[in-house]
Chains A and B, each alone.
Chain A
């Protein structure tokens, strides 16, 4: 029944490792997003895909690479993890530019 789901919920890893976070939505939406929430709770958009096409690509390190195999899935791969990547990453989806619905978040801790 979950509308927007993410895995894993928690991710603890060492600096320099590569990791992926997966997101799936069953709302039939055509647009999906990745947001980063830092330790001060500030939320900032990173990427957005519409029907598998990248439409928003904020200034983030190119160690971050999103991939959308289909419009119901959006994954985030992070290479060479750094301490500063520690944050909560939220996936969201919407129909076109409509209301965005958020997933439960993935708390990434880089040691």
Chain B
């Protein structure tokens, strides 16, 4: 059974600081997704990582995938308050469409 673990689960950081959220998973996969969820809202797709070594950047967020280490990272650069949300990684099985989600990282960016 595929297991996905995120850490930290809660992250409180100051504006302007950098930090990284980690997503580890237990079985072989080369498809990983990052989603953002604001309170009471749906999941918004941030990044789709489809191969080993994939790196994608959007604004202050950068995601990477290391399939050999079974690890993805979401790096936050110079955080701003608008980034406050819950971030989920989700790993897709090599065969099939099933997504297994991590527990989510609740990020709070303080002024």
Mark A residues whose CB is within 8 Å of B: 31, 33, 40-45, 48, 50, 55-56, 90, 94, 96-105
Residues of B within 8 A of A104 (CB): 41-42
Beta-carbon contact of B97 and A94 below 8 Å = yes
Residues of A within 8 A of B54 (CB): none
Q: Known: A41-B86, A41-B104, A43-B88. Is A101-B99 also a contact (CB below 8 A)?
A: no
Beta-carbon contact of A102 and B96 below 8 Å = no
Beta-carbon contact of B101 and A100 below 8 Å = no
Beta-carbon contact of B99 and A100 below 8 Å = yes
Q: Known: A97-B92, A99-B33, A99-B48. Is A43-B42 also a contact (CB below 8 A)?
A: no
Interface magnitude class on chain B = 20 to 34
Number of A-B pairs, beta carbon distance below 8 Å: 53
Beta-carbon contact of B104 and A42 below 8 Å = yes
Beta-carbon contact of B43 and A45 below 8 Å = no
* Most A Cβ at <10 Å: residue of B45, B98, B103: B98
7 A-B pairs with least C-beta separation: A97-B97, A43-B101, A102-B43, A102-B42, A104-B42, A41-B104, A99-B48
9 extra interface residue pairs, beta carbon distance < 8 Å, beyond A40-B103, A44-B101, A102-B42 = A41-B37, A42-B103, A45-B99, A45-B100, A50-B97, A94-B97, A97-B31, A100-B33, A104-B42
Q: Known: A41-B86, A43-B88, A99-B33. Is A90-B43 also a contact (CB below 8 A)?
A: yes
Beta-carbon contact of A96 and B97 below 8 Å = yes
Beta-carbon contact of A103 and B97 below 8 Å = no
